[in-house]
Copies of this chain bind each other. A is one copy, B any other.
Amino acid sequence: MSPYAAPVRDVRFVLEEMLEYGSFALPGFEETSPDLVEAVLEEAARLAGEVWAPLNASGDRQGCQLKDGQVRVPDGFVEAYRAYAQGGWNGIGVSEALGGQGLPEVVASAVQEMLHGANMALGLCPMLTASAIEALAHHGSDEQKTLYLPKLVEGTWTGTMNLTEPQAGSDLSKVRTRAVPGEDGTYRLFGQKIYITWGEHDAAENIIHLVLARTPDAPEGNKGISLFLVPKYLVNEPLVNADGSLGERNDVICASLEHKLGIHGSPTCTLSFGEGEGAIGYLVGEEGRGLNHMFTMMNEARHKVGIQGIGVAERACQHAFAYALDRVQGRSPRSGRSDCTISDHLDVRRMLLSMRARTDAMRALALYCAAQLDVARHGTSEDDRKTAQAKVDVLIPVVKAFSTDQAVEIASLGIQVHGGMGYIEETGAAQLLRDARIAPIYEGTNGIQALDLAGRKLQRDGGAALATLIDEVEGTARALLATTELAPLGEGLAAGAADLTAALAILLEQGSDPERGVDAVQAYATPFLSLAGHVLCAWQMGRAALAATAAQQAGSSDPFYAAKRQSADYAIRQWLPVGRAQRAVIESGTASLAAFQPSA
C-alpha cells in the first residue's frame, strides 16, 4: 500500500481560508493560535502517517484473536494506541475542566480524519471512548466522573457503547438485558450484547462499558431502559492498588468475535453480562432515561462516523492517485506517447477528479459542521449558540450518511482505477472498500439518518434551520455569479438551491399531513438527504472556489489553488447534477413505494 500523507494542506485551507479561523475567536479558545493549530496538525499527521498507517494492511490481514476470553488485537496495535494516548491525543477535543486540552472541534475533527484515514480499525477504539466520555460528562454523577473520567480522557482506559442485542438493533426499545438492583445501590446485569466495538482487547488497562438495560418492573418500550456503567475491572479509590492491580474482574466476558467484511483490526465482540452472579453495574443518570442519555452523545458520534468516511475516502484518493501516476499503460491521446501513465487518460482522470472533488467537498462540509458545533458550545450569545445548534442538528445526519455513502463509492472507484490489481488484496484498495462499507450501517443506518433529517429535524422547526443554510448557499451562488470566471458555478449552485427549496416544500407539506405524513417522510427521506448532501457539498466547493480565486488574485501561483478550483468545477458542474435528479424522484410521489408489496 502506498504511504499515507495526512492532508494537512487541505485541512489548513478549510480552517484558514474557508472558515477563517472562526472557531479560534470564540471565548475559551484564546490560546488556540494558528501556529499552535499548525503544530497540532503536523504532529497528528506524523502519528497518522508514520505510526498508524503502516499497520493498516497488516492489521487487516492478521485480524483479532479470541482465546480464553482474552482478545489480542493485531501486532503493533497496542503500541500504536499507546503512542496515541501518551501523546495526549485522546483528550484534544475534551474540555480542560475534564482534563483534556479543550481544542476546538474543528481541530479535533481534522485530527480524527487523519487517524481514520491512516487506520480506521484502530481509530474506532478512541472513537468509542470519546462517546463514553461524553455520556459520563453529561449524565454521570460527580463520583462517577471523578472515578472514571481522568483515565478515559488520558486513554489509559477505553470505553464502549453496549446498545445492540440480537432482537434490538435500530429499534432499541426491544432491549432485554436485565439490571437487577442490589441493596448497596449497585445493579447486577444479565444479558447479551452484540456488535460491541473494541468490547474486549489488550490495548488498555481497563474497559468501561456503558450498557443499556432494563430494570425489573420497568415499563415496556423506551421508557423502561436505563444506562449503566459496567467496568471490566471494578474500580475503587485508589484507582490502582499499591501493587499496580485494579479491582476485581467483573462478570462480563467476550463470548465471540464477529467475522466481518472489513475493519478486521477492530474487535467486534459479543459480550455476555452475568454468566455468573451478574455483572456489577452503576446507574448513569436517571432510571428510565437511558435512551435519552444515549442520544445526547449520538449526534457527535454520528459526526465522527462521517469524519471516518472522509478519512477512508482521502486514503482511497491518495492510493488511486499514486497508482495512476505510476502505472504505464496505453497511448496518450494528447502526446501520442505509447508509454504514458494511466493518469493521462481522461477517463481515468475523471475517476481521480471525482474522488478528489467529493472528498474535498465532504471534508469542507464536515469541518463547517464542526465549526458550528464550536459556536453552539462557545458562542458569545445564546442566539448565536441556538442558531448554530439548529444548523448542527440538520447537518449531522447529512455528514454521517452522505459522507459514508460517498466513501463507499469513492473506495469502489479507487479499486476501479487500479484495474485488475484493485481486486487483488495485496494492493490495499480492496481493504478500503471493505472497511468503508460498515460506516453507512453503524451508529444508526443511513436510512435512520435520513428519517432523522426528514422527520424529526425538519418537521419540528418547519425546515427553518435548513432554510437558513439554503440562504447561505444562495449567498455563495450570488458571490460566484458576481465574478467573471466563476459565474457558471454560481448558476449551478443556484439551481441546486432551488431544487432543495422545492423538495423541502414538498417534504414539509406532505410530511405534515396527519394521514399520509409518515409515508411521505419515509418515502422521501433518502432521496432528500442525498439532494441536501449534494447541494451542501457543492456549496462548500463554491466557497472553496471563491477562496482559491482570492488567493490567486492576491498573487499566489501555488498549483494547490488551481487544483481546488478544478475540484470545485467538477463538484458543481459534474457531480451536483446527479444529486439534483433527486428532486424529480421526490416529485414522483409516494404511491409506488406505498403500493409495493415485497412479499408478492
Give chain A's interface residues, CB within 8 Å of chain B: 164, 167, 169-171, 173-174, 194-195, 221, 258-262, 321, 324-325, 328-331, 333-334, 338, 343, 345-353, 408, 412, 415-416, 419-420, 422-426, 430, 433-434, 437-438, 440-442, 445-447, 450-451, 518-519, 522-523, 525-527, 559-560, 562-563, 566, 569-570, 573-574, 577-578, 580-582, 584-585, 588, 590, 592-600
Contacts and interface: CB of A to CB of B under 8 A. Distances in A.
A519 B523 CA distance: 41
Contacts of A595: 566
Given A325-B599, A577-B581, 17 more contacts: A169-B419, A171-B329, A260-B423, A261-B424, A334-B518, A347-B525, A347-B526, A348-B447, A349-B596, A349-B598, A350-B523, A350-B526, A415-B441, A416-B446, A423-B437, A423-B441, A434-B434
B451 A423 contact: no
Contacts of A169: 329, 419-420
A446 B348 CA distance: 11
A164 B420 contact: yes
A347 B416 contact: no
B526 A343 contact: no
Contact of A343 (B325, B519, B522, B598): B598
A562 B600 contact: yes
Total identical chains: 2
A346 B590 contact: yes
Contacts of A438: 423
Contacts of A451: 347
A430 B437 CA distance: 9
A550 to B, nearest CB: 19
B519 A333 contact: yes
A433 B437 contact: yes
Nearest to A167: B328
A333 B522 contact: yes
A363 B306 CA distance: 35
A426 B260 CA distance: 8
Contact of A426 (B259, B329, B434, B440): B259
Given A171-B329, A581-B580, A590-B346, A415 B437 contact: yes
A420 B596 contact: no
A416 B430 contact: no
13 contacts: A169-B420, A173-B338, A261-B433, A347-B522, A412-B412, A416-B441, A416-B445, A433-B437, A434-B434, A559-B597, A577-B584, A578-B581, A581-B581
A596 B344 CA distance: 10
Contacts of A262: 423
A595 to B, nearest CB: 6
B441 A422 contact: yes
Residue of A345, A430, A592, A595 with most partner-chain B CB within 10 A: A592
Contact of A329 (B170, B420, B569): B170
A246 B223 CA distance: 75
A261 B430 contact: yes
A352 B598 contact: yes
A343 B440 contact: no
Given A437-B423, A593-B353, A573 B588 contact: yes
Nearest to A164: B420
Contacts of A419: 169-170, 441, 445
A472 B424 CA distance: 42
Nearest to A594: B346
A420 B442 contact: yes
A589 B296 CA distance: 47
Given A349-B593, A350-B526, A447 B333 contact: no
Contacts of A580: 581, 584
A594 to B, nearest CB: 7
B577 A321 contact: no
A566 B347 contact: no
Contacts of A430: 260-261, 437
A545 to B, nearest CB: 12
Given A171-B330, A415-B437, A423-B261, A574 B598 contact: no
Contact of A416 (B164, B412, B440): B440
A133 B566 CA distance: 48
Residue of A333, A334, A422, A584 with most partner-chain B CB within 10 A: A584
A110 B348 CA distance: 33
Contacts of A415: 261, 437, 441
Nearest to A517: B333
A450 B346 CA distance: 12
Contacts of A408: 412
A520 to B, nearest CB: 9
A459 to B, nearest CB: 14
A214 to B, nearest CB: 16
A600 B426 CA distance: 27
A173 B441 CA distance: 44
B573 A578 contact: no
A313 B258 CA distance: 26
Contacts of A446: 416
Nearest to A572: B588
A594 B353 CA distance: 11
B596 A566 contact: yes
